[in-house]
Structure formats: C-alpha cells, structure tokens
Amino acid sequence: MFVRLLGLVTLALSFLVAHVPASAAIWDSVPDEQLKALKLTRDSSPKELFDQLSKRYRSELTKGKFAKYWEPIPMDMYLAPTLFYKPPAEPAIEVKREECVACHTGATHGWVKSWQKSVHANLDVIRALPESDSRAYKKGIIAEVEDNLRLQGLLGKGEPLKEVQCTDCHMGIGAKGGNHAKDLRMPDRSVCGSCHVRQFAEAESERDTAVWPQKQWDQGHPSHAVDYTANVETATWAALQQREVAASCTMCHTNQTKCDNCHTRHEFSTVESRKPEACATCHNGVDHNEFEQYMYSKHGTVYQTRGASWDWNIRLADQLGHKDGQTAPTCQSCHFEYKGQYSHNTVRKVRWGFLPSKNIADNLDHPWFKARKEAWIDTCSQCHSRRFSEEFLTMSDKGIKGGTKLVEDTRKVVQKLYDDKLLVGQKSNRPALPAPEQDEAGGFFSLFFANANQTTTVDRTFAEMWEQHVARFMKGLQHVNPGGWTYSHGWSDLVKDQAIINEQDTLLRERAAMEQRLQKLEGKGTGKTSFNGVGERSLYASISEDPVYASGGLALLGGGLLLAGLRSRRRNRDDAADLDSQQARYDDVAG
Amino acid sequence: MFVRLLGLVTLALSFLVAHVPASAAIWDSVPDEQLKALKLTRDSSPKELFDQLSKRYRSELTKGKFAKYWEPIPMDMYLAPTLFYKPPAEPAIEVKREECVACHTGATHGWVKSWQKSVHANLDVIRALPESDSRAYKKGIIAEVEDNLRLQGLLGKGEPLKEVQCTDCHMGIGAKGGNHAKDLRMPDRSVCGSCHVRQFAEAESERDTAVWPQKQWDQGHPSHAVDYTANVETATWAALQQREVAASCTMCHTNQTKCDNCHTRHEFSTVESRKPEACATCHNGVDHNEFEQYMYSKHGTVYQTRGASWDWNIRLADQLGHKDGQTAPTCQSCHFEYKGQYSHNTVRKVRWGFLPSKNIADNLDHPWFKARKEAWIDTCSQCHSRRFSEEFLTMSDKGIKGGTKLVEDTRKVVQKLYDDKLLVGQKSNRPALPAPEQDEAGGFFSLFFANANQTTTVDRTFAEMWEQHVARFMKGLQHVNPGGWTYSHGWSDLVKDQAIINEQDTLLRERAAMEQRLQKLEGKGTGKTSFNGVGERSLYASISEDPVYASGGLALLGGGLLLAGLRSRRRNRDDAADLDSQQARYDDVAG
Amino acid sequence: MFVRLLGLVTLALSFLVAHVPASAAIWDSVPDEQLKALKLTRDSSPKELFDQLSKRYRSELTKGKFAKYWEPIPMDMYLAPTLFYKPPAEPAIEVKREECVACHTGATHGWVKSWQKSVHANLDVIRALPESDSRAYKKGIIAEVEDNLRLQGLLGKGEPLKEVQCTDCHMGIGAKGGNHAKDLRMPDRSVCGSCHVRQFAEAESERDTAVWPQKQWDQGHPSHAVDYTANVETATWAALQQREVAASCTMCHTNQTKCDNCHTRHEFSTVESRKPEACATCHNGVDHNEFEQYMYSKHGTVYQTRGASWDWNIRLADQLGHKDGQTAPTCQSCHFEYKGQYSHNTVRKVRWGFLPSKNIADNLDHPWFKARKEAWIDTCSQCHSRRFSEEFLTMSDKGIKGGTKLVEDTRKVVQKLYDDKLLVGQKSNRPALPAPEQDEAGGFFSLFFANANQTTTVDRTFAEMWEQHVARFMKGLQHVNPGGWTYSHGWSDLVKDQAIINEQDTLLRERAAMEQRLQKLEGKGTGKTSFNGVGERSLYASISEDPVYASGGLALLGGGLLLAGLRSRRRNRDDAADLDSQQARYDDVAG
C-alpha cells in the first residue's frame, strides 16, 4: 500500500515536472555525454539536473590523493570555500536580510557599490528594457532563473524574483537572515548554479566531453571543471613547503571551486566576462600565454583599436553576427563556441590541451581529432574561407609536431645524462625531494626546488623546454601571433634549450673523460672515479638529430622507454609504456 | 604615315592627360627619387605612374636568390598571393557581382559584416557628410580614386563610383562577375594601388629614398616596400627545414605583398590604422620592440590614458594641430611625417634602420645623416623646443654608439675563440648547416639551429647580443622608454652578454690549457691535442676593453677584418672590407 | 626706533596672515612630522609652509656625495632644471606675456594645444561648471590657489586669477614678460608648489614620515621626494662612463626635481594622473614591476574591462564611493590613501619598500610595522572583509619572508666563493671598477659592468636575484598577480638563481680540486696554484639549506658579517654589523 502510494506521489511529481514551463526543459547546450554520466535523460527536469550536478560536484571536490602532504592556510578558505570556509567569529549577531546593505555600506562600501551596479540589484531595470536594448535578452535569463527556483521550491508559482541580495548567496537563497558568526557561507559553483542551472551544467560538462581516445589526458582534463583537483594532485605543489608560494598556483586553479574568476564579484558584469582581459589573470606568462599571443595577433589588435566602438552588451552568441558587434574574435568568441552553439564548456574543441605531446601528435588522424578539427574549421569559417581555415590549422598542427620532435630528441640526451649519472653533483650532492615529489631528469619540480644540486642547468633547461617553451610555441601558432611561435618565443626558445643541453652533454662527458685520465695518471683504477664514472668512449654518445652524431642512440632508446614506464607506474596510471615524464605531468597539473 | 598617325594619337592622348582634373596630377608626396627611378617626370599622369609602379612592383616580387632552397606551403598562397595564389576548386560556379554578399552572409558572415562597416560599402554615406564631420576629408579621397579610375578607363567620365564590392578586389575592378574556381584573385599591393595610386606610390617610394651613402644597407632596405624580398633572401630562413616555423617570419614580411597588415580586411578602418596597436603585431618582441618601448614611454602612456578622448577620425596629418586631435604622438605621427608632409613612406627619416652598426656610427657627420637628423628635429619640434629635440637626438646617437662599441669589442672575443677552434665541440661535433646557410661565429643561424654543437653558448649569446639586444637598446633610446635602454633591457642585456662571453673566453682557454697539461703528463706531444690545440700562452689572450687585459688583440684584429671580407664575398656583395657578419645579416633580413 | 617700527610692521603682517580665509590654514593632509621638521605648527600659515618647504627643497637638491665623479650632459638640464637649466641663447629677444602663445602656435603647436586643453587655460570654464559636474570640485582648488598667491603677495585681494600662462611657470608667477635668452626657467617642484602649496607639502612630506625604526632604509627613502638624490648617490650610477646610459636611470628618478613625471606637460590632466598607466613608465620591468603585476591582477583586469564606463573626472578621494566611480582600485586608490585621507605622500603605509630585506622580515612585529599593516587593512577593507584583508597581508608577508630566506641562503654560497677567490678569473682577470664603485660579490654593479671578468655568472645571477627577482616576487604577492609570484616570475626565478649558483659552487670547487691534482702530478706544491688555491677539502663546502650539505657554513658566516661591516663603513653609514651588501644598495638606489 505504502509502495503504491509512493508510486502515485512519484507519478504526480513527475506530472508536475513535465508541466513546468517550456523554458525549464533540459537545454540543448547540455551535452548527451553529461546526461548519460549523471544517469539522466533529455526528459529529466532542470531540478533533477541540478540535484545530480551538485551531488557529483561536491563529492569530487576534495583535498585529493596527496591530502596528507599539505595543510590549508587561512587564505584557502576563500579559494576553496566548500572545503575550508568558516564564518568569522565577529560580529556574532543575528542579522536580517534587509540589514546587510546598510551596515556594509559603512564597513565595505566598495563591494556594496559593485553589487548596486549589478543585474542582481536591478532585476526590474532589466525587466523594463525595451526589446531594442541590447541587454533585453536578460529578461529571458531572469525568467529562466525564476523557473529554476520554482522547480526547486524556492520561489512561489507566479511570484517574481525581486532581487538577488547578500543573504541569498551568503546564507541561503531566499533566506530572511541568520547568524553572522554561524550561517555565513562563501558561494561555490553549486550555489551560483542553483539559479544558473544551465550555465552550471555547461561548465560542469567539461568533465564529460573531454574523453581522450588514447588517454592523452585524464578524462575531463585539462579543463576549468577540474582545475582544483589538477592543482592539488600535482606532486610538486603538494611537496612545496612554502605554502604561500603554493597558494599562487591555487589562485588560478579555482574555477572548479567558484565562479568569480571570470565573473568578478559583486558586479558580475557580463561585459567584463566577454573581454579578453577576463581571461588574462590566468592565461599569461611563461607557458600558456594565450593572452599575450592573442593581443599581438591581428585578432587582438583589432580588438584593441576597434573594440571601444562595439556594443559589449550584445550577447556573446550574437556578437559576430550583429551589426554593432565585434569585427574580430575574442577568447570567448572561439572557445565558448561549438558547432554554432555557445556554452560554458570551453573544451569541446580541444585537441592538444595546453601542452603538446607525442601521443597527440601521432594520433591526429584518429576520428576524434579529425572531428574536432572540423569543428574548428566551422569556427574560423565565420570570418575566413574554409580553405584558409583548414590550411591554417594544418600548418599549425605540423608546426606543433616539429616542436614536439625537438623536445623528444632533447629528452633522450637529458635522460641519458641522468642515467649515466653525469649531471653536476648528481652522485654526491643531489638530496631527495620532499614527498610526494620524486627525482627524475628535468622534472616539473626543477622549476621549484633547488636545494644543493637538486636542479642542474640540464634539469632546469629541459623543464622549461617541455613545460613552458613548447607550450608557448604551440600557443603562438594557434593564436596566430607571428613573433610568438618562431622568433620572440617558441621555436627560438626551443632551439636555445636544445643548444644548451647539447653543449652540456659535450661538456659533462668531456669532464668525465678528463677525470678518468686524471685518475689513471694518479694510479687509480678506472672503476674508482671520484665524481663520475663515464669513460672517454662516452664522448658525444648522446643522441642528436643528425645520425652522424648519434652513435649510441639506439641503445639508449630502450632505456628511455623503460624509465618512462616506471614513472607511469609510480603515478598509479595504466598508460602505455611510451608515456614519458611530460605525460606524467599532465596527470598532475592539468586543469 | 603610320608613325605620324601614332605621333598624333600620342599627342592627343597626352593632351587628354594634361586636362584631367587638377587632383589627378602627380602628388607632392611622390618623391623626385621615385619619379626618376621610374623614368617619369612631375608632368607624368597618375596613370603612367600607376603603370610603371605596377610593372616594377610585380617584376621585383619573386622567390628571390635562394628560390631553389625552399618550396612554398599552402599558407604562402595567402601571404604572397601574387606568387602563389590559386582559386579554390570549389565551388566551381559562375557568380554575378550582386550574388557575393548574399551567399557569403551565410557562409562567412564575419567578413561580410566587416565590409558592410567599411567606407567601401558606404561611399554615399561619406559623400553626405557635412564639412564639419571629421571624416569629410574622405570625400576628396573618393574623388581622387574616381579620377584614377577614369584615367585607367575603369570609370566613365562623370560616372560616380557606386561602391567597392567583393568582385572589384577579388576578380577585377568593375567586374560584373566571373568563375569562382578560375577568376578569383587575392589582392596584392598593386590591386589596392589601382584605386589608391597615391598611397601605392608613397609606399613604394621607400625603394627609392632609402639610398645609404656608405651602403650600410642595400638600397630600399630596411623598409616595408621590400620586406618580402628581405625575408626570402635570408639564408637562415631559406635553410629552415620546418617550413611552418619559417612561415612565422613570412607572416610579418608581407607588407611588400599586400596592404592588410595595417589595413585589416574587410573594414579597412583608418581609425585602426592610426593607432599604435596597428603596428604591434610585427614591431614587438626580442629585438625591434618599438611597440613596448612606445607604450611605456610618456608618449605611450598619454595615448593610453587620454586617447579615448581624441577624435580618431581626424586625418593623421591634422591630428596634432586639431583641437580634438592627439596630444601625444603615435607611431604614425612621427614615422609617416617628413618635413611636415604625411605619406606612406615610413623611412624617409631613417638613420639607423632596425640595427645599429659601426658603419653608421662612424658616419653620422655625413650630410646624408645630418639632413635626416634635421628632419627629425623638425618632427619633435612640433611639441618640444628645437634645443630639447636636438639634445635628445644627440644623446640617443651617443648612447647607440656606446652600445655598438660593446658589440664590436665582444665580437672580437667571439671571433678569436672561433678562429682558435675553442668553442665547445667545435672540432668534432659541429655539423654543417643546411644550405644555403653557412657556419660562422655567432651568426644569425644560432637562433634557429642547434643540432649537436652547431650553436654553443658563445654563439647564441653573441647572436642575441648583435641581433636582438643592441636593437632593443637602440629602440629604447629612440622611443624614450627609460627602462628600455639601460635597466630592464638594453645596456644591461648587452653587459650580460659581454660578461657571459668574457667568462666563456676564460673558461674555454683554461680548459684548453688543462688539456695540454694533461697530455704532457700522459706523455703525448703538445701538437697532438684531442679536442683543442691552444696552449697555456693563450690564456686571457682575447681582447677586452681594458688594455691591461688585451694582450694579443692587435694580431686578432686583422684576422677579424679578413674574415669579414670573406663573408661579404660569400654573399656576393662588393662592400668595403670592414663589413662584418652583422652587416651581412642586414642584406638578408633587412625589411 | 627702527626696531620698534619693524616690530609693528611684523605685527601688522602677522595680523594680516592670521586673517586669511579659512581655506588657507594648514591642511589636514600635511602630517605633524613634516610641521615639526620644518619648525612650524598647525597655526603656521600656508605661506610660511611654502617658504620653509622651498628652502629645504632647494638646499637638498644637489649633485650629491659623488658629485666629483660625474658631469651632467645637456639632457640633464631638463631632468634636474634647478641644478642645470640654462635658457637657450636664441632667440635673444624681449617677450611680452601675451606674445608667447601666438609665436609658439607656429613654432611648437603641440604644446600650445595641450595647454589650451588644460585647466590652466580655462579657469573660467571650471568656474562656470554646475555643481552636478564631476569637475566642480576644481573650483575649490582654484580658490585655494588664489589664497596661496594672495598670501605670497602675488595676487591682489579680491582679484581673481585669470589664467595660468607660459610666463607664469617659465619666467615668474604673474610676470609681464622677460628676456627669452635670460629669464626663461624650467619649473621644478617648488615652482608648481607656489600655487599648489598643499600638494607640494604632501609630496615633500615623504621625507618626514618614512622614518624606519631599525634604519632599514635611510630617512625618507625610498620615496619620490628623494628619488633624484637616491639616483646620484648610487656608486654604480656615478661610475658609469657612458653618461647617456646613466641618463636612463635619471629619467625616472626625477620626481624630486619636477612634477611632470605624473602630470604630463602641458595639459596636466588629472584624468591621466589617476590612471595606472601614469605610473607605468617607471614602475615596470625587471624588478619593481608593479604595473604589470597590477594589470594582470583581477584589480587590473576589472580596470581594463570596465574602466571606460567610469567617470574619471571624479576626484580620486571620491572614486570608490561614487556611483559612477571605480569598481576596482588603481595604483592611486591604494597608494595615495592613508587612514581614509588621500594625499601626494605615497609612502605612508610603506612596509617593505621596493626590496625586501632580512632586517624588515625580522621586525614585522615591531609596532611601527604593525600600525602600517593596520592601515593597509583599512585600505583593503573598503572592498574586502577585514579578515580577508588581514589574511591576505599575512600570507603576503610570510611569502616574502620565504623569498628573503632563499636570497640569504644563496648569498652565503656566493660570498664564500668570493672569499675563496674561486670565481672565474677572479685572481687574474677581474680589473678594478671605475670609482666610486668598488668590487664585491654579486654587487649591483654586476648588472652594468663586464670588462674582462669583472662580472661572472655567479655575480650576475646573484645580482639579479637580490635586486630584481626577489623584488618582483614581492611585488607579485603584494599586487595579487598569481603568475607574478610563483610561476611566471618570482619564486621560480629565485629558485633558478639558486640552482645556477649551487651548480656553479659545485663546478668551481671541482675545478679547483682538479687543478690541485694536476699540480700534484706535475710535481708542484699545493701552495703554488696557478689560478686558484682551494683544495679538494673545499668540495661542497658552501652552505645550502640541507644541513647534510652545509659543512663549513658556520666558519663562513663570520666572514660574511665582517665583510658586510666593512662595506657599510665604506659607505659612511653606522648601521648594525648585519647590514649586508643588499642593504648598502638601499642607501644608494632607494628612491
């Protein structure tokens, strides 16, 4: 009987769900892969979607597999509030919804003013816009949010949403007030996602669509949706003893934990989030310097010289088509688009990630990569001919392959020096790294640890080569910045790395030979070297591009592969044996 | 009889030409040097000018003297369309003039929208502007274009130009249509120049006015007018096996081949082309970083802070004088101006080019250089006192001379190491470079080739010094960016290069000496060294600034000069014997 | 009798002064420390304040303690006009006040136009503004200037100031004309300060409020008010023989000498001076790169994406509070503010200066530092919670301490190599530096001198570490630019420096040991080494973080301290013995 009753209730509920307004159906921008992963169908309701999303979101937001190696610092409370936020002890008062603004106008007028400028504080201003206003589309978004809230029982049928105020985000949606010392919260993605279910789903769908055919990257990586996990599961990060230094990495790896990396609190300006600078804080610098590459490209210079004449209130999806919209793309134009649809899944066309690898270079003919290249051609073809678009992408891929080859050639030289124990101080002055980090030739750690001879010129140079310079090379090509891929950065950097390492190879082997000769003269046996034990026969024994100089190379190759296999096991992965240390880095850092 | 008739026709034609509207006379901005080079006079017609210009333009646009060493990649079709463009095979249809926009609004809406915003699509909008509008001057330009077309028989007498549409540029001016698979073309400078004869002539006049009195650079170099030639005739570029990498160089070296490096298709916005960012894609980075230097100068910061309040529609020539115009210069203000006149010849005041050299430093008192300095003083004196302008330019020249001396001092150290065969791996592990590139000490190739020990620390450091750092030093001075010439870049970079090379000099000579001592102990003769043959007496034998440390320097000097002479011959030039390898680079790269 | 009369006159004058309008009292923004230093009280008049300020200002503006080592170049006339300006010989004519503009409109139209746009040329335009105009506050400033001028007898009672014209600044306030070849002057701070007494006093008060409790920096340093002195009293600067190179340093170190580094002549736009780019010319680059750090921070990206919608005419003090004002801070918002008041004293909250040091790191619990931290919390709390603000500042301090420790650890390695005379060429090829510079291990000079082996890799790397990279690290933290303190720059740079130096330490000691072994084999005694005299026992003898590798470290420590003591005496300072060479640099460069 009870079961039957339950069945009826369920039926009634599902009936109810089926009759929510049309706008509350599952949106087209939610990909099938995500629905499948969440065990939902296209007939599910936005409420079910939200419930499943939030549940998964919170369960996967943890300190990660290296949790025992690091402790949060106070600032982490703001970077990963779901995990670490605690309300402040003072003031320990009960506050009413309507009191926040008055009090904080005195205490923190800056954030109050930003909020007052936001749509959150001006819903009726939006509702009153004429259809001719380029912001009029926001009326539809408000209606969508109201539908979401009604489905979740947070807004009455026919009741309009009056405003979005401090307590809604910082205590509970619709909360009338609470205890300042107990009930305050810092919103995470799921709090913003309660109202903005569609955007939450789109952003979270990066976990589901980034499934690499040869497991070049872990599922969902690299993406904003898992960037916090990628950060905390990087051995180098967990091993860093200066936690205030490690915090800098976390600062960017917090798209998983909150939404205001792009939608700066408390104005949450869509105009801001549509401009390239919104991406600049994280996407600049020594490796994935997309911002600089873009700004120096013709795309970027048109933005800089003409952008002030564009109407930035036009919805992103309409910008390129609108007479008052952009005449050049921004980061958002290309990376939020997929087959003509714009969403918060920024990785649906990703083919290389933020680091090229041999395993991608070797598989570009696989249908997965070809389909994504086609999707890119669609994107570029909005403003270029299809032939131009295809030829540019083909050139870019070939270029990246060339850069990847330089890295792989040089990796062999580095690995052989390491295997021969010829790096400076390697035998006597290279202390172990703090756990969970472990030694390897030119690993990611080389950029952050330099006690005694933990990091030599060879290590550092190679770490910069595979982790920074080849990425910058690729980003230069992909963002059409001429100086960025050959001359100012990119190829020229890679060749410099190669030159340094080849020179070190010669010097270190000559030095070893000289040591042996000295020992012989001193009457010591060749087996009793004082700081290295490689004889004259090893001179110029490493692999170089030119076969004339590559004697000894083949023997090394097997060793290199073996070592790579060992590394991949150490990191508890089941990748193919040709996974190298660069690949291992993907697992850790990828975001 | 026939001859007489021909004579009459010619007379009639010349009469006709003599009676074209006043605006169709040869413009003042066309320099005498150009008319002379084209065998024209100031009484020639714009049509004759265009014909001669186009003929010369196309005959000099070739694959260059290294043509046999490289093959174009598909992307080259868009970079040098005159040489490589082929229409796409699909769609193989006949199209009518009026069909382009309709079809492409669907296929490539971005470029259609840009064109719709252009003057090309809105000639009547311009014609209707009141004289008070800052764009009203464009009416005169339209009239000038109409005159040009009438002279070329492309527009009827009294017939107004209605619009400039896809087919005009991509098939033929005034074409009614054509076959999409056969008749499509990509416009080069001469296509744009058919209508814009004056601008074409101005831009092309760079070939004629840049005639260096001591042949410091080849005629016309460095300039936009010959930048493609300069690119393809650089041995390093031609030798690069990764053509997608070489393509990055080409990307910027395409002002010779087309106009849209500055006038981005398809809006061709003059506002865009007047702003510094229009130059930024090419003029940034590791060497000729004019953009960064400008942006950090006070000139640039005034642009950045006040530029939004200026009316960018005002014609460049009127900007500084107009009450609503600039209050600080841009790249264009200074470099398009010559004796009060503004034109597309950007090198009429050039004195150093983009790399300083001894041969310029030693000749600044020559009238050619003095006259150009006077022209610069005129430019600066628009906003500064003449004394200030002169003192700044003098200071700048003296500074550049100082930097040049550092390079020359260091060149001797590098050359002697090379001559003594002391570079790491020089004797045994320095394979030949791909043709047409050839080995030398610290050549330009060092930035792009690093197989085995082709490039050592000494080579790379010196290549960066003479090709990048001294250029950046000069550009910092010339663009009045304090951090740019001494501290963040410039002098400090040069001194670092010098320190590295002086240290290498000491280390490599000590190493050679140690090797000799070892061999002596091993009972081998000093004549049979294993990797170098320079004895202890060579220690500290290279030249340094301080005479105390310069023993052995004079002997070297002759060798250095000899080598430079050899190099210049190898490059088929008849320069004076003091032409050094840096100079040789000018011939190749100068654009 | 005469004395009595004088007394009466004085009384009458003081009576007059006592009855100036209320607005002419000493302003709140003038700090007590300044009044005390000038022997004034809060009852003193603005005239007395101006007189005392000007007197002190001029007496302290000199060529400095290294005056005999350098001579000005012509450009210095414009950089430090008080010291070096001479009117031009031509034209040697008498000019009337009203003639300047007419003549210069022809000669230098750019500066005339800028002036015509300035408030100086439009006082009545300002006076006519309605109170609703965001520039209306300038009426009060004009009235304040009029009061100042009346007190100085330069404007009649009730007489309004009509305009500020060329002659006022360039000949004398209110001057009716003068001789162009004799009476022209270039305004310095005290000329601007005649009218703008309050701003002059605020700016000059940096001398009085920056009094470091443990003398970490000299009084008033680092600040804009003494930046010229700091420049010319830097030994490296004075020793530079290329004065055009040294001029680049001076270019920025001229806030002490004039006002137009921030208030660009001749528009003197307050809008310009409120924007971050106004600071960019000097605050960018290899060390104190605040501009880049800010621009990549969220503060900066909000400025870049939203700034165009802010009303920049709003007074700085009102920006954050005004509905049309900023929603993110600029340089000026934070650095001109102190306890809610905005003034031209930009260092009232300074705690680290532009270089961190152990002596600051060790004293952050001192009340002086704690009070300033509280003042910073007040600043940040305008837009952030107090807890967030405090935690961020605490994190920042801890981070900086960590970076400082890396520098100090590495300093010991460098110092020991220097003491052991193991640097490359140290014994035979390291010529003395030009006076007044003196040799030391990795001194500031290493960035500018590289004759022979004056600067080795160890010197240069360490100079970059303590003078550039640790500053950039600190600035990254303080300006909340994630890539700026750990990854793109900052920590990663510091660790690279450390790696290079630790590797050099190993290599140089191994090399020394090898030399000893060679000598032994050659039958020479160990006491007669040819290029260094450190035996095998020194291998790995320098100090590193890991105690296992730190044998020999304690013995070194004393030597390091002794050397530091010597240096500090050489520089005529009485600091504690733990003052190291980095500290000594503060005295010189601090501005």
Q: pLDDT digits over B79-106, tens only? A: 999 999 999 999 999 999 999 999 999 9
Dihedral sign for Cα A358, A364, A366, A367, please: positive
Average pLDDT score over residue span A489-512 = 98
- Alpha helix segments (H runs only) across B362-385: 367-380
Asked whether the predicted pLDDT for residue C570 surpasses 50, the reply is no
User: How far is C388 from B204, CA to CA, in rounded Å?
Assistant: 61
Asked whether the predicted pLDDT for residue B556 surpasses 70, the reply is no
Residue that wins the pLDDT comparison between B8 and B40? B40
CA distance C382 to chain B (A): 25
Residue A528's Cβ-count burial label (10 Å; 0-12, 13-18, 19+) is exposed
CA distance B512 to chain C (A): 13
Contact B517 C514 (CB under 8 A): no
Q: Please, which pLDDT band fits residue B524 given cuts at 50, 70 and 90?
A: confident
Contact (Cβ atoms closer than 8 angstroms) between residue A84 and residue A250: no
Contact (Cβ atoms closer than 8 angstroms) between residue B329 and residue B319: no
Which residues, listed in sequence order, are joined to residue C93 by a DSSP beta bridge? Answer: none
* pTM confidence score: 0.90
Contact A275 C305 (CB under 8 A): yes
- What is the percentage of chain C residues whose pLDDT exceeds 70? 85
Which residues, listed in sequence order, are joined to residue A179 by a DSSP beta bridge? Answer: A94
Across the interface, of A301, A495, A514, the residue whose CB is closest to B281 is: A301
Contact A108 C383 (CB under 8 A): yes
Q: Which residues of A touch C296 (CB under 8 A)?
A: 280-281, 284
Q: pLDDT digits over B133-152, tens only? A: 999 999 999 999 999 999 99
What three-state secondary structure class fits B291? helix
Averaged pLDDT score across all residues of chain A: 88
**Token pair for C377:** 């919390």
CA distance B91 to chain C (A): 42
Average pLDDT score over residue span C188-203 = 98
Most distant pair of Cα atoms in chain B: their distance: 99
Average pLDDT score over residue span A38-55 = 97
Between A and C, how many CB-CB pairs are < 8 A? Answer: 185
Report DSSP letters for C269-330, one per residue: -HHHHHSTHHHHTTS-SSS--HHHHHHHSHHHHHHHHHGGGS-TTS-HHHHTTSTTS-SS--
Q: What is the 3-class SS of B160-179, one letter each residue?
A: CCCCCCHHHHHCCCCCCEEE
Asked whether the predicted pLDDT for residue C117 surpasses 90, the reply is yes
Which residue do the tokens 């120049």 mark?
Answer: B193
Name B513's Cβ contacts closer than 8 Å, sequence gap at least 6. B534, B535, B536, B538, B539
Chain A residue with Cα closest to B260: A298
Contact B451 A548 (CB under 8 A): no
Contact A503 B308 (CB under 8 A): no
Q: Which residues of C touch A278 (CB under 8 A)?
A: 301, 305
pLDDT score for A25: 85
pLDDT score for C524: 78
Q: pLDDT digits over A221-256, tens only? A: 999 999 999 999 999 999 999 999 999 999 999 999
Neighbours of chain A (3+ CB pairs under 8 A): B, C
User: How far is B427 from B421, CA to CA, in rounded Å?
Assistant: 6
Asked whether the predicted pLDDT for residue C456 surpasses 70, the reply is yes
User: How far is B439 from C243, CA to CA, in rounded Å?
Assistant: 37
What three-state secondary structure class fits A122? coil
Q: Which residues of A touch B119 (CB under 8 A)?
A: none
Contact B399 C244 (CB under 8 A): yes
Neighbours of chain C (3+ CB pairs under 8 A): A, B
Average pLDDT score over residue span C217-238 = 98
pLDDT score for B587: 40
CA neighbor of B412 nearest in space, from B549, B510, B535: B549
Which residues, listed in sequence order, are joined to residue B342 by a DSSP beta bridge? Answer: B337
User: How far is A43 from A25, CA to CA, in rounded Å?
Assistant: 7
**Cis peptide, bond prior to residue B88, ω within 30 of zero:** no
DSSP state of C484: I
Q: pLDDT digits over A543-563, tens only? A: 343 333 333 322 222 222 223
CA neighbor of A498 nearest in space, from A540, A457, A538, A461: A461
User: How far is A506 from A539, CA to CA, in rounded Å?
Assistant: 7
What three-state secondary structure class fits A521? helix
Residue that wins the pLDDT comparison between B558 and A435? A435
Name C256's Cβ contacts closer than 8 Å, sequence gap at least 6. C61, C189, C224, C225, C226, C227, C228, C229, C591
Name C291's Cβ contacts closer than 8 Å, sequence gap at least 6. C276, C277, C279, C280, C283, C284, C331
Q: Give the C-alpha distances (Å, rounded to integers) separating B74 from A487, B157, B247.
A: 21, 42, 10
Name B235's Cβ contacts closer than 8 Å, sequence gap at least 6. B66, B436, B437, B438, B445, B588
Chain C residue with Cα closest to B325: C113
CA distance C208 to chain A (A): 31
User: How far is B47 from B24, CA to CA, in rounded Å?
Assistant: 9
Q: pLDDT digits over B300-344, tens only? A: 999 999 999 999 999 999 999 999 999 999 999 999 999 999 999
Pairing outcome for strands B341-342 and B337-338: antiparallel
CA distance B420 to chain A (A): 18
**Token pair for B258:** 């087309």
Neighbours of chain B (3+ CB pairs under 8 A): A, C
Q: Which residues of A touch C517 (CB under 8 A)?
A: 518, 522
Chain B residue with Cα closest to C274: B305
Q: Which residues of B touch A297 (CB under 8 A)?
A: 281
Q: Cα-flanking dihedrals φ and ψ of residue B526, to 5°?
A: -65, -20
Report DSSP letters for C58-124, one per residue: HHH-SS-TTGGG----TTHHHHSHHHH----SS---EEEGGGHHHHHHHH-HHHHHHHHHSGGG-HH
What three-state secondary structure class fits C537? helix
Chain A residue with Cα closest to B451: A545
Of the residues C71, C258, C281, the best mutation for testing chain B's interface (the one with the most B CB atoms within 10 Å of its CB) is C281
- What is the percentage of chain C residues whose pLDDT exceeds 90? 84
Chain C residue with Cα closest to B395: C244
pLDDT score for A570: 32
Q: Please, which pLDDT band fits residue B554 given cuts at 50, 70 and 90?
A: very low
pLDDT score for C25: 85
Contact (Cβ atoms closer than 8 angstroms) between residue A221 and residue A210: yes
CA distance C511 to chain B (A): 10
Asked whether the predicted pLDDT for residue A458 surpasses 50, the reply is yes
Contact B499 C447 (CB under 8 A): no
pLDDT score for C572: 32
Across the interface, of A88, A277, A429, the residue whose CB is closest to C506 is: A429
Q: Which residues of A touch C396 (CB under 8 A)?
A: 244
Average pLDDT score over residue span C102-118 = 95
pLDDT score for C24: 57
Across the interface, of A308, A485, A507, the residue whose CB is closest to B424 is: A507
Across the interface, of A252, A431, A454, the residue whose CB is closest to C548 is: A431
**Token pair for B474:** 């000069």
Q: Please, which pLDDT band fits residue C591 given cuts at 50, 70 and 90?
A: very low
Between A and B, how many CB-CB pairs are < 8 A? Answer: 185
Which residues, listed in sequence order, are joined to residue B337 by a DSSP beta bridge? Answer: B342
Q: Please, which pLDDT band fits residue B24 given cuts at 50, 70 and 90?
A: low
Contact A503 B446 (CB under 8 A): no
Other C-beta atoms lying within 10 Å of the C-beta of residue C59: 8
Of the residues A310, A549, A551, the best mutation for testing chain B's interface (the one with the most B CB atoms within 10 Å of its CB) is A549
Contact A269 C391 (CB under 8 A): no
CA distance C318 to chain A (A): 11
Q: What crossing angle do the helices spanning C386-419 and C491-521 adopt, rounded to 10°?
A: 10
